[in-house]
């Protein structure tokens, strides 16, 4: 008999839907028992897509009524810390989407409450579970391109994050929402901690958004200096009409590795006017389809086998610290030294 972990997903929005569909259809070691959303109608709609599970408006109700071993938190950033505390204190393991929290204080609370209650905490950096990106990490560890001196990672998307992400009271802006992944991947590949971050950002695509959200930015570049003196570059921007674009370049003393392609498949149409047509990835759901499945499976395996998750709360905190340093650098127009106070 396969041991299945009883799971509840909190948040039936964009990320919640991806996790619910994977947990219910594609991960044999998962048993999805409940969906929670403060908008109960949304939870029920999603539940219907998978043949029906119990739906609740709050995590507290779900934890009271169901035997839940693990909670997937796929709600807006400002809810991550209180929901993690609630789940951990009820003895449930926590998978929490990125960015981990609004502040380092919140991230620290999440790490300590999960440790205190002896439950696992994994942060949703699914790129670490993408087969090709994973392969790059292996090649780096094998020394294939020598010592890593520069890692560049870019993410551009066709849409805008939800409004809560742009409002400083509920989110930490586009660079956190879209590029937390890039900061995490660069740190992972570099195998070192950031010591300085400098960022440039502006509202160049939708300048009018600044009227409603004064800190709004939609094009940005961030330069990171690591303790091993390696350099990282994060480049991001949304919305770009052309598709979802995530590419990484790793420069070592003995070679170069690139991963990620603008093309969403191998389809290529060549016409007699000498023009070629191909397709891009429509969204992050398509580009990282396998990554989302693999990260959830890895988290559930860590529970079953009582192992440390592959992406820990400390990893989430380090990426958050780099993002917060970039935001501070945008605000002050100066390089910011880490660790942050
Ligand atoms: N890993 C990825 O690639 C990826 C992709 C998209 C989003 N995310 C992350 O997932 C999280 C959610 O983002 P989203 O785009 O899905 O947001 P969303 O706005 O589409 O969905 C959030 C849902 O949470 C519900 N909600 C809010 N507070 C709640 C609470 N206290 N209890 C129950 N339900 C609550 C809302 O009603 C909404 O349905 C964010 O942290 C985001 O950064 C990650």
Question: pLDDT tens digit string along 27-61?
Answer: 999 999 999 999 999 999 999 999 999 999 999 99
Q: Give the global pTM.
A: 0.97
Residue 335 and residue 199 in contact, taking contact as beta carbons nearer than 8 Å: no
Instruction: Give the ligand 1 atom nearest the CA of 284.
Output: 3
- Residue 169 has a pLDDT of 86
Q: What is the CATH number that goes with domain 5-126+291-312?
A: 3.40.50.720
**128-282+318-337, which class in CATH?**
alpha beta
pLDDT above 90 coverage of the chain, percent: 98
Q: CA-based angle 219:154:181, to the nearest 5?
A: 100
Residue 188 alpha carbon to ligand 1 centre in Å: 25
pLDDT one-digit tens code per residue, 93-105: 999 999 999 999 9
Confidence of residue 242 (pLDDT cuts 50, 70, 90): very high
Cβ contacts of residue 197 below 8 Å, gap of 6+? 222, 223, 224, 225, 322, 325, 326, 329, 335, 336, 338
Distance from residue 175's CA to the centre of ligand 1 (Å): 16
Gap between the Cα atoms of 160 and 241, Å rounded: 11
Domain locations along the chain? 5-126+291-312, 128-282+318-337
Ligand 1 mean position to 277 CA, how many Å?
A: 35
- Phi then psi for residue 299, to 5 deg, are -65, -45
Residue 2 has pLDDT above 90, yes or no: no
Among 9, 19, 36, 37, the mutation site with the greatest number of ligand 1 atoms within 8 A of its Cβ is 37
Question: Rounded to an integer, what distance in angstroms lies between the CA atom of residue 176 and that of residue 150?
Answer: 21
Q: Which protein residue's CA is at the shortest distance from atom 38 of ligand 1?
A: 13
């Amino acid at each position: 008999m396969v041991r299945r972990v009883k799971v509840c997903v909190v948040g039936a929005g964009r990320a919640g839907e991806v996790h619910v569909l994977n947990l219910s259809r594609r991960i044999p070691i998962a048993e999805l028992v409940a969906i929670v959303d403060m908008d109960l109608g949304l939870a029920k709609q999603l539940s219907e897509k998978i043949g029906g599970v119990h739906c609740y408006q709050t995590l507290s109700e779900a934890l009271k009524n169901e035997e839940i071993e693990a909670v997937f938190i796929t709600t807006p950033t400002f809810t991550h810390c209180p929901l993690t505390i609630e789940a951990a204190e009820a003895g449930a393991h926590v998978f929490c989407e990125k960015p981990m929290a609004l502040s380092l204080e919140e991230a620290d609370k999440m790490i300590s409450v999960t440790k205190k209650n002896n439950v696992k905490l994994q942060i949703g950096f699914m790129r670490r579970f993408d087969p090709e990106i994973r392969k790059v990490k292996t090649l780096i560890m094998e020394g294939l391109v020598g010592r890593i001196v520069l890692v560049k990672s870019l993410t551009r998307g066709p849409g805008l994050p939800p409004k809560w992400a742009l409002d400083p009271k509920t989110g930490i802006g586009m660079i956190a929402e879209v590029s937390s992944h890039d900061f995490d991947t660069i740190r992972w590949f570099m195998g070192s901690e950031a010591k300085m971050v400098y960022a440039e950002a502006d509202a160049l695509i939708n300048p009018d958004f600044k009227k409603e959200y004064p800190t709004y930015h939609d094009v940005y570049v961030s330069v990171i200096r690591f303790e091993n003196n390696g350099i990282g570059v994060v480049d991001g921007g949304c919305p770009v009409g052309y598709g979802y674009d995530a590419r990484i370049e790793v420069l070592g003393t003995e070679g170069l590795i690139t991963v990620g392609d603008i093309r969403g498949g191998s389809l290529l149409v060549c016409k007699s006017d000498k023009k070629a047509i191909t397709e891009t990835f429509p969204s992050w759901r398509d580009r990282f389809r396998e990554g989302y499945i693999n990260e959830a499976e890895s988290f559930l395996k860590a529970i079953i086998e009582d192992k440390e998750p592959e992406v820990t709360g400390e990893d989430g905190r380090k990426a958050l610290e780099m993002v917060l340093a970039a935001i501070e650098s945008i605000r002050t127009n100066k390089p910011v030294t880490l660790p942050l106070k």
